[in-house]
Structure 1
Amino acid sequence: MPPVRDHIPVVVQGSGRRGRRAGLAGTLWAAAELTVTAGVVVLLLVVHQVWWTNRQALASARDEVHALERSWAEEPPRRPAPAPDPSPSGGGTAPTPDDGPEPRVDPGSGAGAGAGPGSGGSSSAGAPGRAGEPPARERSYAILRIPRLGLVVPVARGIDKRAVLDKGYAGHYPGTAAPGARGNFALAGHRNTHGEPFRYINRLRAGDELIVDVRGERYTYVVGKVLAQTTERDTGVIAPVPHSVVGPDQGYGEPGSYITLTTCTPEYTSRYRLVVWGTLRS
C-alpha cells in the first residue's frame, strides 16, 4: 500500500489585497463617470440659459418689432382724447413709496420677478394711438430705440417675466405714465439672458437719445442721470417725479415728462438695481 501523504493547502498571498484594490478602482471610476455626466448636464443647462434663451428671445423681439412696424404702415394712427395727468395732483395711479405696501422696483432679471409695482397686471399691450391711450392686452405697443447701443426692442405693458421680459421685451411698469405723457414712463428689462435688452444701459451717458415710437408718434427722450446702484425697494425711481428714496440727492425735484430704465446689477445677479433717467425733448 502506498504511503498516505498529508494534504497541505496552498495559500495565495495578496489575492485579498488585489481584490480590494480592484473594488476601490471601480468605485473611483464610477464616481468619475458620474462627475463628468453631472458636469456635462450643468454645462448644457448653462448653454441653454445663457445662449439659447438669448437667441430665442432676440429672434422673438426682432419679429415683434417688424410686426409692429408693418401694422403701423398698414393702419392710420388713431387720435383719442388725451389721458388725465398721471401725477398725484392729476389723480393718476403711478406708484409711490406711500401707495400701500412697499413694492419692489423689479426689472424681472432676478429672483422675485413680477413682484414689482403693479405685479399681476397685464403682461403686454396692444397698440395705442397718442400718448395717454391705455393699450389693449397681449401685444407689444411701442418700440424703444437706443442709438448709442444699437438697441431696438418692443415695449409691452407689464413686467411679468414669462409674458413680457423673458420674450426679450422691455416691460412698461403698470401705473406709470404713457410714452410722451406728463409723469414717468418707466420700463424694466433683463440685463442677462432672455434677450438681455438692457445689458449695456450702464454705458449710457448724459445727452444720449432714448427714442420711443408708438403708432403715428415718436417721442425722443434725452438721458440726464444714471443711478449706478440702488436697492430693489427704491420705489422712488419710478415715481411721477423720479428720485431715489435711498439716496435723497439722486433724481429730480420738478414735475415733467420723464423716462426711466431699470435693470439688475451687478451682471448675473439681482442684488441691486441700475437706473437710467431721461427727460422728454421739447
Structure 2
Amino acid sequence: MAAVRPEGGVPEELGDPEDWSVYEAPAEQTLKLRLPAARPAEPAARPDGGRAARGRAGGGPAGLRAPGTGRRRATGRAAGPRPPRPKERRRVVLARLVGELFITLGAVMLLFVSYQLWWTNVLADRDAGAASSKLEQQWAQQPAPPVGGGTAPAPQPTAFQPGQGFAIIHIPKLGLDYPIAEGTDKQKVLDHGLVGHYAGTAMPADQAGNFAVAAHRTTHGQPFRKIGQLVPGDRIVVETATAYYTYEVAGGIPETPPSNVTVLQPVPKGSPFTAPGRYLTMTTCTPEFSARGRLIVFGKMVEERPRSQGQPEALTGQH
C-alpha cells in the first residue's frame, strides 16, 4: 500500500485536515488522486409549531416556500356544495309537486270561471237569438186572427211541449228581448238563455191568473240580470203569435227563499194585488252570483193588443 502525504512546507499547527488513510491504494495499482468522500449532511433543525409553521419555514429564505412544500395545491376540481341527503331530496320533490298542483288547480279554476261568466253567455245568446228568429218566422207565415174572433182558440200550456218557444218578452227600459219557452228545466230551457214559463200557471191570453216566468240573473245569457232596476210604472210587453200583452210593474220582493212558491199563485202572495186579475210574476236568483234567494217582480196587465193593430206604444217609444 502507498499513501500520499502532505507536501513539505505544510505547517505543523494546521495538523492533518483530513483522514489521509482514505487515500491509500494498493501498491500494485497506479497511484491516482481520489477526492474525499462527502460527509453526510446534518439534519436541519425542525421548526417549532405545527404544519403551518413548517410550511412557512419551507427550508428556504424567510417568507418564501420551497417548491412542493406548504399547503397542497388545488386539484383542479372546485369544491362544490354538499349533495342533499335522501330526506332533503324527498322534501324538495314533495314541495315541487305541491307547487305544481296548486298552479294546476288555479289554472283550472280560472278556466271554469271564464267558462261560467263568459262562454256560457256566448252560447246562450246564440241559442236565444236562434229561438227568437224561429218564432218570428213562424208568426210571419200564419195570419194573426183577431183576439176574441173565435176562429182560433188561445193556446193553453198543455199545447206546448217542454222547451218549445211560444212568446217573446220585451223590457224596453232595459233594452231586453228574450224568447219564452214552456217549462223551467235548467238544461232544456234556462241554460239556453231562454225565459221559462212555470208550467201550471196562467197564459197571457187567459182572462184571469198569474203568468209566471223565470230566467238566469248571471251566466247563460243572464236575461233577468237587471230586473231589479225596474220600478212601478215601467212597462213589460209579452208578444205571442196573436197579440201583444202589456204589463205595468206594480212592485216586487227584493229577496225571498227559493221555496216560496206562493208568489206563483193566481193572486201572488206578497204582491200588491188582493183580487183575481191578469198578472205577471218574474223570478230570478239573488244576490248576483248566488242562488241563495229569489228576486220577484210583479206586474199587472194594462193592455191586450192584436198583432193586426201593430205594436203597442211601449215598444214604439210613444209611451
Tell me if both proteins adopt one fold, taking TM over 0.5 as the criterion.
Answer: yes
Contact 1:147 1:210 in 2 (8 A): yes
- Which structure exhibits the higher relative contact order, with contacts defined as CA atoms closer than 8 Å and separated by 6 or more residues? 1
Structure 2's unaligned 5+ residue stretches are 1-78, 304-319
SS of the counterpart of 2:300? strand
Distance 1:239 1:81 in 2: 26
Distance 2:149 2:266 in 1: 17
Distance 1:50 1:147 in 2: 25
Partner of 1:89: none
The answer to whether the aligner puts 1:199 opposite 2:199 as a matched pair is no
Correspondence 1:1-282 to 2 at 5 A:
15=82, 19-77=86-144, 130=154, 132=156, 134-137=158-161, 138-181=163-206, 182-244=208-270, 250-282=271-303
Distance 1:211 1:135 in 2: 22
Distance 2:90 2:149 in 1: 80
Deviations 1:174-230 (A, max 9, x none): 111101422100001111111111111111111111100001210000101021011
Deviations 1:70-125 (A, max 9, x none): 11111123579899xxxxxxxxxxxxxxxxxxxxxxxxxxxxxxxxxxxxxxxxxx
Contact 1:229 1:274 in 2 (8 A): yes
Residue type of the partner of 1:264? C
SS of the counterpart of 2:266? coil
Which protein shows a greater Rg?
2
Deviations 1:147-198 (A, max 9, x none): 1111111101111111111111111111111014221000011111111111
Distance 1:240 1:201 in 2: 21
Residue type of the partner of 1:150? G
Counting matched residue pairs gives 222
SS of the counterpart of 1:252? coil
Distance 1:129 1:166 in 2: 31
Deviations 1:12-43 (A, max 9, x none): 9x847555444322321221111101111121
What is the identity percentage for the equivalent residue pairs of Structure 1 and Structure 2? 39
Distance 2:260 2:185 in 1: 19
Structure 1's unaligned 5+ residue stretches are 1-11, 84-127, 245-249
CA RMSD of aligned residues (A): 2.6
